Amino acid sequence: MPDTNQELQNEVAELVASALNLDISPDEIEPDAPLYGEGLGLDSIDILEVALVVSKRFGFQLRSDDADNTRIFSSLASLTQHIAANRTK
């Protein structure tokens, strides 16, 4: 992963950990571990909160009716890739 993507992934991990007041540090979030259910253990409310902070921070809308949400929120790495491709800030 290029440095800029690694930096973005670190930023996204910090954003997720901060927004959800997680009991783990951002660097403990495994890039390829599932965010939802097993893995990080987020629920639908957590995912909505993450979508809100990502939308505010990176300037694009993550919609609850997006058919790609399962893929987008499948892991930190996939969320980072989606942000990199769609961000306006």
Q: Say if residue 86 is exposed, middle or buried (CB neighbours under 10 Å; 0-12, 13-18, 19+).
A: middle
Instruction: Give this prediction's pTM.
Output: 0.90
The structural domains of the chain, with segments of one domain joined by +, span: 3-86
Read off the pLDDT of residues 27-51 as tens digits, 9 standing for 90 and up: 999 999 999 888 899 999 999 999 9
Q: Which fold has domain 3-86?
A: 1.10.1200
Rounded Cα distance between 79 and 69, Å, is: 9
Read off the pLDDT of residues 51-68 as tens digits, 9 standing for 90 and up: 999 999 999 999 888 899
Backbone angles phi, psi at 53, to 5 degrees: -70, -35
